[in-house]
Structure 1
Amino acid sequence: MVHRSCRPGPVEWRRIVAPPPPQKNTSRHVKLIDMSNCLMSNLPMITTEPSLSDLAAASGIEARTIRSWVAQGLLPAPLNRGPAARYPADTLERVLAIRTMRDALGMPLAEIRKELLVASQEQIRGYASRAQGLAPMARPQPSASSALDYIDALRAGPKAPSRSALLMDEPLTPQPLQGFDALEHRLGQGRAPPARKARAEEWLRIPITPDVEFSVRAPLDAEQRVRLERCADLIRDILLGRDR
């Protein structure tokens, strides 16, 4: 038996490089990003919770008028108190809608309040869009003639008192009591002072429709007030058949 030795030959090392992954077509992705950036750049800056000065500047209505509309229930109350108070996002549309109904349609504030209670958000937005065609609110300018008259009056000196002024200095007969003064005087005649038991309470009224409203004992914080107003909106939709 013959044994043969086998000598291994030279060993060769080869470097195997994996093929690169297939490139994806990113042109469509880049186009979508460019389009989204373009759309975002065209959008206006929107203040979700405007301040009182923002509402006055955007609507042309004086700040004190807006405050009076809030007190009369035409506009929602601010979300917080103080100089930095903010209002709900849809307050500007309601301000513009009120201006349209008042200036363009000649509606009194009582009728505007009823209309806002039953109007949908689309209807309020329609009223607000018509406010753009209204003329800007004119501010009263001081009269030059009145200023000149005032200067002439100062130069002329004090005038002699008129007859009407002399009559006003004479003692007048007491006027009869009216209102609560008359009621309190009439109830207290011939009676001893009552024991103090009655105490006044503050109640918050949240209108739902012209004939239905919430009456909740105050005080309430901003979150509780917003939640109750949301409940009032839901009840209004149910009563008006808009819950579907």
Structure 2
Amino acid sequence: MMDREIILRVEDIHKSYGETEVLKGVSFDVRRGETKVFIGPSGTGKSTLLRCINQLTVPDSGRIWLNDEEVTHAGPRINQFRQKIGMVFQNFNLFDHLTAIGNIEVALIRVKGMNKAAAKEKALFELRQVGLSDKADAYPAELSGGQAQRLSIARALAMDPEVILFDEPTSSLDPELTREVLEVMKRLAREGMTMLVVTHEMGFALSVANEILFMEHGRVCEQGSPSEIQTSPLFTRTRQFLGTFQDD
């Protein structure tokens, strides 16, 4: 992994809302094909960090690069970067009035400029990749939560991103539906997709991540391999946090 080039660089990101400082100088690098998983208590800035990376939330200070091109302060070029930095949200963010295939086609046509036939072919391919080829004509309301989230992943993949950000993608799903979404994500990791994942699914984090980053109070307090974080965390808070899962 260490010989792969750095694809994403996050440097000293700060973000406040009013008097509340949510991110207090977060920095890390991501290498191509790497899966980084962010863990930690709720409200520690993990989701805000992902939103800052693709500029859905503009950081107050700090800089972000994708392939040595700066994403921060990109101005009108930001949509070019967002094509390369996919995002999967916890609440799906699907278009209710479009079918599954339509949800994927719309960005391919409007953003990538594909013709209808090429967009349909690409959309069907991505639906097959996430096990939803039989749901192409179903509307989001007709899908289970797990199917809706897999559709969200297919939509992100269709843009051929270089990095995908996952913001607690299974937090609203029951255990059975969680498993089917995590299986898709595990396959993407095995196939070399570069992924940043915010999750409370510790089994997934420990089995798939190249590196786990523990965040609290807007900072990365500790980072290391899954084995390092699980067996010999350096900080008491990391041990306490992991212990809440081991006690379940």
TM norm structure 1: 0.22
Which of the two has greater strand per residue?
Answer: 2
Q: Which of structures 1 and 2 has the larger relative contact order (alpha carbons within 8 angstroms, sep 6+)?
A: 2
TM-score of the pair, normalised by structure 2: 0.22
